[in-house]
Amino acid sequence: DTAVSQTPKYLVTQMGNDKSIKCEQNLGHDTMYWYKQDSKKFLKIMFSYNNKELIINETVPNRFSPKSPDKAHLNLHINSLELGDSAVYFCASDPGQGISAAFFGQGTRLTVV
């Protein structure tokens, strides 16, 4: 009964490719996020969606495009992958309305070669 699940867990791909990471939460939360964790373990928010609406876009290159088909899903599509995109990407969700106890998925380790 995984609360926030993301797939795949590992993704190795060549520069220039396009790839997607999927995320689903079964907590009934209104708000979902994508975070990026770099090699120094620094966690930085990328996007936030509330009820399928984009709320936060933290100056992420437009090669990254989140899509929320419904409030339980938030997918991340990345075009023209670059070496610097290698990182661990975390999906998270919280109830919204200022209740910030975010639940994180297990992460997707993306390696661009």
Partner 1 sequence: GQQLNQSPQSMFIQEGEDVSMNCTSSSIFNTWLWYKQDPGEGPVLLIALYKAGELTSNGRLTAQFGITRKDSFLNISASIPSDVGIYFCAGQENSGGSNYKLTFGKGTLLTVNP
Smallest Cα–Cα separation from 23: which of 42, 57, 48?
48
Of 14 and 28, nearer to partner 1 (C-beta) is: 28
The site string for partner 1 over 87-106 (x = CB under 8 A, - otherwise) reads ---x-x---xxx-xxxxxxx
Among 42, 70, 84, 113, binds partner 1 (CB under 8 A): 42
Nearest to 74 by CA among 14, 18, 6: 6
Structure tokens at 69: 């088909």
Give the count of residues interacting with partner 1 (CB under 8 A). Answer: 26
The verdict on 34 binding partner 1 (CB under 8 A) reads no
